[in-house]
Structure 1
Amino acid sequence: MYILVIILVIIIIILYSNLNKRIRILENEISEIRKSQPKKQTEEIQEISETIIVPVPEHDEEKIPVSIPEEEAKDRLAPLFNFLQQNALTIAGIFTLVLGIGYFVKYAIDKNWIGEVSRAGIGFTAGAGIITLGHFLRRNYTVFASIITGGGIAILYFTTTIAFREYHLFSQTAAFSITCLITLISISLSYYYKSEILIIFSLFGGFLAPLMISDGQSNYPFLFIYITVINLGMLAVAYLKEWKSIGWIAFVFTNIYLFYWTIEKTEIITVYFYIASYIIFYAFALYNYFRKGVLFQWDILMLVLINFTSIIGTVYIFKQLQYDPVILFPVGFTLINAILLYREYTEKKSGINHSVFSGITISLLTLAVALQFKTHLITSAWAVEATLLLFIWKKTNLRIFRIFFYILFPLVIIAQLMTWAEYIDAKNLHIIFNPLFLTSSVTVFTTFVNLTLLRKLPEKREQENSFFENAFTLVSYTIIYIAVLLELIYHISEKPFITVFSIAMLFSLYYIFIILLFRKKLEISSTLQTVLLYIFLSLIIFDTTIAGTGIIHDIVGKQTDPALYFLYGLYLAPLIFTTVKIPPDSEFFRIRMSFWLLATAIVIAVSMEFYHLYIVSFAENISEIAILREHFSLLYLPIIWAVLASIFIYKGLKSNAQEYSQAGFALLIVTILKLYLYDVWEMDNVSRIIAFIILGIILLLSSFLFQRLKNILKSMVEKKKNSTENNDA
C-alpha cells in the first residue's frame, strides 16, 4: 500500500515538473512576441484599453445619478461568475487540501502517532505554511495567492477551535485572544496585499470565531465590544480601499447577533450597541455621498435597512422593558435624516439624494407617530418600509428596490394577518383607538400610498405588468376592506348573528360600490372593474336570500327591531345606481355571462323584497311563514317574473342588447314551465283562475308591446335609409 502511494506521488511530481517546464517555455515565447510588436500597435492597444475602462466622472452641481439600464444591471453579476469560472478549481483545491489535512490529523490521532499538543501544532504549522506559500505567490498569482492565504487562515481558526473545545489546551480567554490575533493578522495581510477576497475570508473568520470558542455561557457585552471593533476595522478598510462587499457581510452578521441577543436576553445595554452599529453602517452607506455627492443603489438600500433594523431592535427592547418614550429612536433617526435632507435643500438639489432622504425622513416620522399610538411594531415597520422601497423604486427606476418590495410586501400581509388574529381573544378594545385597528390603519394608509405610487410608475402600462397590477390592486383593496370589517364586527359582535351578518354584508356592498363609483379617479382597470361587479352582484344575491330572509324571520318572531329591515334595505340604492349606470358597451358586458348574472341579481332582489314585504304584512307569527311562502310562490311570484321578463325584453329591444331580450324570454319560459308543471297542481280553483288571467293579460300586453316596438324600430330604419338615398341623389 505504502509503495503504491510513493509511486503515485513520484508520478505526480514528474507530471507537474514536465507541465511546469512547458508553461515556462510558453511564457517566454509570449514575452518575445510582445517585445517584437511595433510601437504603434502597442499604442492602439493602449487606446482601446483606455476606452474600455472609463472612470466615473464627479458631478459638480446636481450630482444626480443616472438610472442604470437593465443590461448594465445584469452585467454587474458577470465579474462574480467570471471569478467563479476562473477560480473554481482553486477554491475546490484549497477546500480539499484543508479536508485532507484534517483527515490526516484524524488518522494520526486514531493511530496514536501524535499527542494533543502535537495535533494543534500540526494545524498551526500547516496554516502558517499555507499563508507563507500564498505570500510568495502573491506577485504573479494574486487571486490564487489570496485564496491560498484564506485557506491557511481557515486552518488557523479551526485549529484554535479544536484545541479549545476538544483538547482544552487553552482557556476561553486565551482562545479568544488567539482568534482576535488571527483576525488582525488576516485583515493586515488583506490590506497589505490589497486583496478584497482575503478580507472577506478574514471577516467570515472574525464573525464566526465567537461561535467557535463559545462554551455555552453568553457574555454578550464582551461579544459586541469585539464585533464593534471588527466593524470599525471594516469601516476603515472600506473607506481606504472602497470595498463595499465587506460592509454588507459585516452588516448581516452584526444584525444576526444583535437580533438573537435582543430576543434571547432583552437588556437595555443592547441599545448602546444598536446605536454604535447604526453610526458605523450609516457612515459606511454615506461614503459615496460625502466623497462623490451621489448615492448608488446599494448605498440607498443600506440606508433603508439600517434605519428600520435599528428601529425594530431598539423599540422592541423599550416595549419589552416598558421604557418610555418608545419613539425616542425613531424620532432621533428622523432628525439625522432630516439634517441630510436640509443639506440637500440648502444646496438647492432635487435629484435622487433629495428624494431618498425625504422618503426616509417622512417614513420614519410616520412610523414614530404610529408607534406612539401603540401599534404593532413589526407590522407597522414593514408596512412603512415597503412603501419607502416602492417610493425609491419610482424615483430611481432601479430594479433592486422593486425586488425588495416584492419580497417585503407579502411579509407585510403575513404580519397583518397575525395582527388580525388577535381580534379573537381581544377584550374591551376602544372604538378605533386601539392597537389592532391603529396598526391596520398604518397598513391601510401605506397601501393607499402604494396604489398611488404604482399608478405613476413609468412601466405601469406595459402588458407584462398588467397581471401584477391587477393582483396587487385587488390585494390592496382587500387589505383595506378586511381591516375596517374586522373592527366593525368586533364592536357589534354582541348583537344577534343575523344583525352582524347583515351589517357586514351592507358594508361589503357599499365598499365595492364606492370603488366602482370612483373607478376613474382610482384608475381601476377595466378587468378589475369587471371582477368587482361580479363580486358585487353575487353579494346582492347572497344578501337578499340569506340576510333579508333571516331578518324577516326575526322580525316576525319579535326577536329583532323592525328598523333593522330598513337598514338592510339600503343595499337597493347602490344596486339601482349600478344597474342604471352600467353602459351596454362597457367591459363588463363584453362577457355574455354578465347579462345573465345582472338579470339573475335583479330578479332575485325584486322577488325577495316583494316576498319580504308580503311576509311582514300578513304573518302573525313564525308558524305562518311557511304557509304564506307557499302562497306567495304560487300566486304572486309568476306575476312578478312575467313583469320583469317584459321589462327585460323591452330594454333589450330599446338598447339593441340581445342578451337582455334573451334573459326576458328565458324568464318567461321558466315562469310558464313553473305555472304549468307545478303551480297549477298546488292552487285552489280561485287562485288558479286569478293567476291564469293576470298572467295571460301580462303575456298579451308584452307581446303587443314587442310587436309595436318592433314596427317602430323597422319604420326608423326605413326612414333613415330613405333619408340617406335622398342625400346621395
Structure 2
Amino acid sequence: MSEYIAVILIVVIAVIFNNLNTKIRKLEKEVSDLNSRIRKSSTQSEITNEGISKEETITSSQVHHQESPSKTSLKNNEDEEIPPTIQKDWLTPIFDFLKQNILTIIGIFTLVLGIGYFVKYAIDKNWIGETSRAGIGFFTGALIIFIGHFLRKNYKTFASIITGGGISVLYFTATIAFREYHLFSQNTAFAITTLITIISIILSYYYKSEVLIIFSLIGGFSAPLMISTGQSNYPFLFIYLTLLNIGMLVVAYLQNWKSVGWTAYIFTSLYLFYWNAEQPEILSIAFYSISYIIFYIFALHDYIRKSKLSTPDILMLVLINCSSIIGITYVFNELKYEPVIIFPITFAVINVLLLFKEYGKRNFGIPYSVFTGITVSLITIAVALQFKTHLITSVWAIESTLLLFFWKKTGHKIFKTCFHLLFPLVIFAQIITWCQYFNAKNLSIIFNPVFLTSLVTIISTGINLYLLKNTQKEAVKESNSFLENLITIVSYAMIYTALLLEITYHMSDMPWAAIANIALLFTVYYIFTLLLFRKQLNIQGEFQNGLIYLLLFIATINISVSTSSVVTDILSKKLHSGFYLFHLLQWIPFIYICIKTVPTSEFHKYKISYWIISLALITMISCELHHTYVLNTAQDYLSSFKVKNHFNILYLPIIWTILSSIFIYIGLKREIKEYNKIGFALLGLMILKLYGYDVWQMDNISKISAFIVLGIILLLSSFTFQRLKNIIKNMVDKKGNNNKNSDTQ
C-alpha cells in the first residue's frame, strides 16, 4: 500500500511542478514584453526632450550669470561635499544569500534525504544488492549534476546548489560503498573521492560559481574522514590537503573568491590542531610552514594586485600568524626542541620585508600599519616565548592588542568585534596561569614563567587602555560606552591582580596578618597611582569618584582590621616590632587625596560624601592612636586587653571631642553645613558613650581626670566658636558698610 501512495505522491508533485513551470514561463514572457515596451517609450521621450533640454540649458546659463557670487560659492561647496561611505556589515551578503536561497538549500537537502530513505527502504525489502545500491547512488548524483548543468544558464545560483547536492550524493555513496559494503579498497575509495573533488572544482570554475566550489571544498576536506579506517596516516593526509589548498589558491586568484580561502583555512587548521593534540611530530611543523605560506599568499591577493588590504585579508593575516605560532610552539615544547623563537622571528622577517616595501614607497596607509603591527607582535611573542612564558596566554594577549590596533587604524568594526570576543579568552587564560602560583615552589622574583606571562598581559593591557582612551569619544557617540568602560575597569583589575599575586607569593611564609597588611597597602598605592595620573589615563567622573571611595574604604579596613592583627602578632612575638611602621605609609596617599584630589574633583557632588570621608578620617585617627598606645604600653598579648579597655574608656572620648570640635570649626569657617552636622553628631555620640558606659567602668581618679579634660576642651571649643562668630559678623558688617559708601559716592 505504501508503494502506491509513494507513486501517487510523485505523480502529484510532477503535475504541480509542471503547472508551476508553465506559469513561471508565462510570467517571464510578460516581463520581457514589458521591458521591451519600456525601452521603446524611453527612446522616444529622449528624442522629444532633446529640444527642451537645449532651451533649458540656455536659460539656466543666463540665470547662472545673473546670480550673486555668494550663491555660486554655496553651490560649489555643496557640490564638493562627499557623502560619508556607509560600511556594510560583513554578514549582510550571507544573510541575503540565505534569504534568497534558503528554500533551495532545504529542498536539495530534503531531496538527498528522501533518496537515502528510498534506498534504505529498497534495501530492507531486498529489492537491490550492495553493488546495485552503490550504482544507484552514483547514478542519482550524476543525474542531479546533469540537471544542475541543464539549468545553469537561466538559474545560476539554483543550479549551483543543485549541483552541490549531486556532488554530496557522490561523496556519500563512495563513503558507504567503502565503509559499509567494502566494495573496494581504501586506496580506490580515496582515488574516487579525489576524482569527485577534481571534477567538482573544474565544474565550479567552468560555471564560475562560488557556491559550488564551497560545496566541492567541503566534500574534499571531508573525504579523508569518510574513508578513514581509524589508522593515522598523517603525512599522506596532509600531502592531499596541501594539493587541495594549492588548487584552492589557484582558483581564488583566478576568480577572486574570498570564501574559498576561508573554508580551506578552517578545515586545514582543524586537521593540524587535531594532529598536534593526538600525536605531535616534527613533520607537522613542515605542513604548518607550507600552510602558512599558502594562506599568506591568499591573504595578500588584493595587496599584490592593487596594493590594498581589505578587512577579511587583515583578519586572515592575524589568524594565520596566531594559529601557526601556537601550533609550532606547542610541538616544540612537547618534543623539547630549541630554539622556540625561530619561527616567530622568521614570520616577523617576512612581514618586515613587506613593511620595507611600503616604507620605500613612502606609503604610510593601512598596509604599512598592518605589517608594522604584525611585525611588532611577532617580535614580542618571540621575546615572551624565549623567557618561557605560557604560550596561549601570551599569544592571545598580544593578538588582542593587535586587533584593537587594527580597529584604531582602519575603523572596521570587525576588528572591534574580534577584540571583544578575544579579550574574555585572554582573561580566562590569565586566570588559569595565575592558578599555578598555588602549586609552584621556589619561583624566582619577577623572572619566573607565571609573572613573565602576566607581564606580557600587563604590557598588552596597557596598550589596550591607551588605544581605548583615544576612542572613548567615538564610543560615546555610538552609545556603546558601557562595554568600553567595562573593558577598562577589567583591564585595571587584571594589572592589579597580576602584581598583587606576585607580591603575595613571595610573602607566603609570613603570617597572614602581615600578608594582608602589605596587600592592602599595595592596593591603596595602586589606586593612588591611578588617581595621581588620572588626567593622563582619562579617569574622570563617576569612575574617579569610585576610586576615591575605594581608597578610603581600603585604607580604613587596613588600619582598623589588618593593622590590629599585626599589633596582635607583634605582641605575640610572631612579627618584629618594626613591621608596624609599614602601614604608616598609607597616610601619604590618604592625606594627598583629601587635600589635593577631593577639592578639585566632583567628589562632593552628593552630601553623603562629606560623611564618608569624615567617617574614614575619624576611624583611621582613632585606630592609629589606639594601636600606638597598645604597642607602647602593653608588655605582651595578655596584658593588651586591659590596655585596650583603658584607652577606649579614657582616651577615646577625648579624641572624639577634639575631632568634633575641629569639624565644627571647619564647617563654620568654610560655611559647610555638613561638617557642622558631623561634628555635633560625633560630639553627641561621645556624650552617649561617656555617660552611658564609660563612667560606670572608671575609677574615681579617671572620672575626675576625664571630666576635667573634657570640660576644658568643650569650654575652649565654645570660646573659639564664639570668637569665630564675632569675626565672621564683623567681616559681614564691614562688607555692608563698604557697599553703602560706594553707593553714596
* TM-score (normalizing by structure 1): 0.94
Q: CA deviation at 1:16?
A: 3.1
CA distance in 2 between counterparts of 1:363 and 1:514 reads 28
Asked if residue 118 in structure 1 is aligned to residue 132 in structure 2, the reply is: yes
Residues 71, 725 of structure 1: alpha-carbon distance in 2 compared, 3 angstrom cutoff? farther
Residues 725, 265 of structure 1: alpha-carbon distance in 2 compared, 3 angstrom cutoff? farther
Q: Which residue of 2 aligns with 1:546?
A: 561
* AA of the residue aligned to 2:632: S
Q: Deviations over 1:146-167 (max 9, x none)?
A: 1110000010111111111111
Q: Which residue of 2 aligns with 1:656?
A: 671
Asked if residue 22 in structure 1 is aligned to residue 23 in structure 2, the reply is: yes
Q: Which residue of 1 aligns with 2:482?
A: 467
CA distance in 2 between counterparts of 1:559 and 1:471 reads 42
Asked if residue 188 in structure 1 is aligned to residue 189 in structure 2, the reply is: no
Specify the SS of the correspondent of 2:565: helix
Asked if residue 497 in structure 1 is aligned to residue 512 in structure 2, the reply is: yes
Specify the SS of the correspondent of 2:479: helix
* AA of the residue aligned to 1:688: K
Residues 511, 24 of structure 1: alpha-carbon distance in 2 compared, 3 angstrom cutoff? closer
* AA of the residue aligned to 1:311: I
CA distance in 1 between counterparts of 2:221 and 2:511 reads 60
1:157 to 171, 174, 179: 171
Residues 477, 19 of structure 1: alpha-carbon distance in 2 compared, 3 angstrom cutoff? closer
Residues 15, 570 of structure 1: alpha-carbon distance in 2 compared, 3 angstrom cutoff? closer
Q: Which residue of 2 aligns with 1:367?
A: 381
Q: CA deviation at 1:507?
A: 1.3
Q: CA deviation at 1:5?
A: 4.3
* AA of the residue aligned to 2:426: V
Q: Is the 8 A contact 1:470 1:525 kept in 2?
A: no
* AA of the residue aligned to 1:518: F
Specify the SS of the correspondent of 1:622: coil
Q: CA deviation at 1:39?
A: 4.6
Residues 493, 123 of structure 1: alpha-carbon distance in 2 compared, 3 angstrom cutoff? same
Asked if residue 411 in structure 1 is aligned to residue 412 in structure 2, the reply is: no
Query: Which deviates the most, 641-650 or 469-478?
Result: 469-478
Specify the SS of the correspondent of 1:72: coil
Residues 298, 721 of structure 1: alpha-carbon distance in 2 compared, 3 angstrom cutoff? farther
Residues 539, 8 of structure 1: alpha-carbon distance in 2 compared, 3 angstrom cutoff? closer
Q: Is the 8 A contact 1:383 1:442 kept in 2?
A: yes
Superposition map of 1:55-74 within 5 A: 71-74=86-89
Asked if residue 599 in structure 1 is aligned to residue 614 in structure 2, the reply is: yes
Q: CA deviation at 1:609?
A: 1.3
Asked if residue 478 in structure 1 is aligned to residue 493 in structure 2, the reply is: yes
1:695 to 710, 729, 735: 710
Q: Deviations over 1:58-78 (max 9, x none)?
A: xxxxxxxxx99784323x544
CA distance in 1 between counterparts of 2:114 and 2:43 reads 47
Q: CA deviation at 1:665?
A: 1.5
Query: Which deviates the most, 389-398 or 14-23?
Result: 14-23
Q: Deviations over 1:666-687 (max 9, x none)?
A: 1111111111111111111221
* AA of the residue aligned to 1:227: L
Query: Which deviates the most, 554-563 or 92-101?
Result: 554-563
CA distance in 2 between counterparts of 1:235 and 1:359 reads 25
Q: Is the 8 A contact 1:549 1:612 kept in 2?
A: yes
Q: Deviations over 1:555-594 (max 9, x none)?
A: 2233321110112221122222222223446222213332
Residues 623, 44 of structure 1: alpha-carbon distance in 2 compared, 3 angstrom cutoff? farther
Residues 475, 725 of structure 1: alpha-carbon distance in 2 compared, 3 angstrom cutoff? farther
* AA of the residue aligned to 1:517: L
CA distance in 1 between counterparts of 2:736 and 2:193 reads 99
Q: Which residue of 2 aligns with 1:685?
A: 700
Q: Deviations over 1:676-724 (max 9, x none)?
A: 1111111112211211221222222223323332333333334334444
CA distance in 2 between counterparts of 1:273 and 1:292 reads 29
Superposition map of 1:117-136 within 5 A: 117-136=131-150
Superposition map of 1:431-446 within 5 A: 431-446=445-460
Q: Is the 8 A contact 2:164 2:216 kept in 1?
A: yes
Query: Which deviates the most, 633-642 or 533-542?
Result: 533-542
Q: Is the 8 A contact 2:513 2:565 kept in 1?
A: yes
1:513 to 495, 503, 528: 528
Query: Which deviates the most, 712-721 or 277-286?
Result: 712-721
* AA of the residue aligned to 1:452: Y
Q: Which stretches in structure 2 are left out of the alignment for 5+ residues? A: 47-81
1:222 to 236, 260, 269: 236
CA distance in 2 between counterparts of 1:147 and 1:529 reads 58
* AA of the residue aligned to 1:178: I
CA distance in 2 between counterparts of 1:555 and 1:70 reads 70
CA distance in 1 between counterparts of 2:253 and 2:673 reads 75
Residues 432, 15 of structure 1: alpha-carbon distance in 2 compared, 3 angstrom cutoff? closer
Asked if residue 148 in structure 1 is aligned to residue 149 in structure 2, the reply is: no
Q: Which residue of 2 aligns with 1:453?
A: 467
Q: Deviations over 1:427-463 (max 9, x none)?
A: 1111111111111111111111111111122514548
1:532 to 547, 550, 566: 547
Q: Is the 8 A contact 1:470 1:528 kept in 2?
A: no
Q: Deviations over 1:463-490 (max 9, x none)?
A: 8344334322221121111111111111
Q: Which stretches in structure 1 are left out of the alignment for 5+ residues? A: 46-66
2:578 to 538, 554, 563: 563
CA distance in 2 between counterparts of 1:650 and 1:232 reads 85
Q: Is the 8 A contact 1:506 1:568 kept in 2?
A: yes
Specify the SS of the correspondent of 1:429: coil
Q: Which residue of 1 aligns with 2:13?
A: 12
Query: Which deviates the most, 504-513 or 328-337?
Result: 504-513
Residues 69, 397 of structure 1: alpha-carbon distance in 2 compared, 3 angstrom cutoff? farther
1:586 to 595, 601, 608: 601
CA distance in 2 between counterparts of 1:576 and 1:212 reads 73
Residues 509, 30 of structure 1: alpha-carbon distance in 2 compared, 3 angstrom cutoff? closer
Residues 37, 553 of structure 1: alpha-carbon distance in 2 compared, 3 angstrom cutoff? closer
Q: Which residue of 2 aligns with 1:299?
A: 313
CA distance in 2 between counterparts of 1:3 and 1:681 reads 107
Q: Is the 8 A contact 1:68 1:398 kept in 2?
A: no
Q: Is the 8 A contact 1:454 1:460 kept in 2?
A: no
Residues 530, 186 of structure 1: alpha-carbon distance in 2 compared, 3 angstrom cutoff? same
* AA of the residue aligned to 2:620: A
Q: Deviations over 1:140-184 (max 9, x none)?
A: 111111111000001011111111111111211111111111111
1:289 to 290, 293, 303: 303
Q: CA deviation at 1:301?
A: 0.7
Q: Deviations over 1:4-26 (max 9, x none)?
A: 44444444333333333333233
Q: CA deviation at 1:325?
A: 0.6
1:396 to 410, 415, 418: 410
Q: Which residue of 1 aligns with 2:213?
A: 199
Q: Which residue of 1 aligns with 2:66?
A: none
Q: Which residue of 1 aligns with 2:399?
A: 385
Q: Is the 8 A contact 1:584 1:657 kept in 2?
A: no
* AA of the residue aligned to 1:527: E
Residues 468, 22 of structure 1: alpha-carbon distance in 2 compared, 3 angstrom cutoff? closer
Relative CO higher for 1 or 2, CA cutoff 8 Å, sep ≥ 6?
Answer: 1
Q: Is the 8 A contact 1:285 1:303 kept in 2?
A: yes
* AA of the residue aligned to 1:392: F
Aligned-pair Cα RMSD in Å: 2.0
Q: Which residue of 2 aligns with 1:35?
A: 36
Q: Which residue of 2 aligns with 1:52?
A: none
Asked if residue 720 in structure 1 is aligned to residue 735 in structure 2, the reply is: yes
Query: Which deviates the most, 328-337 or 539-548?
Result: 539-548
CA distance in 2 between counterparts of 1:44 and 1:482 reads 76
Specify the SS of the correspondent of 1:139: coil
Q: Which residue of 2 aligns with 1:633?
A: 648
Q: Which residue of 1 aligns with 2:272?
A: 258
Q: CA deviation at 1:335?
A: 0.5
Q: CA deviation at 1:191?
A: 0.2
Residues 7, 353 of structure 1: alpha-carbon distance in 2 compared, 3 angstrom cutoff? closer
* AA of the residue aligned to 1:687: S
Residues 268, 42 of structure 1: alpha-carbon distance in 2 compared, 3 angstrom cutoff? farther
CA distance in 2 between counterparts of 1:198 and 1:111 reads 35
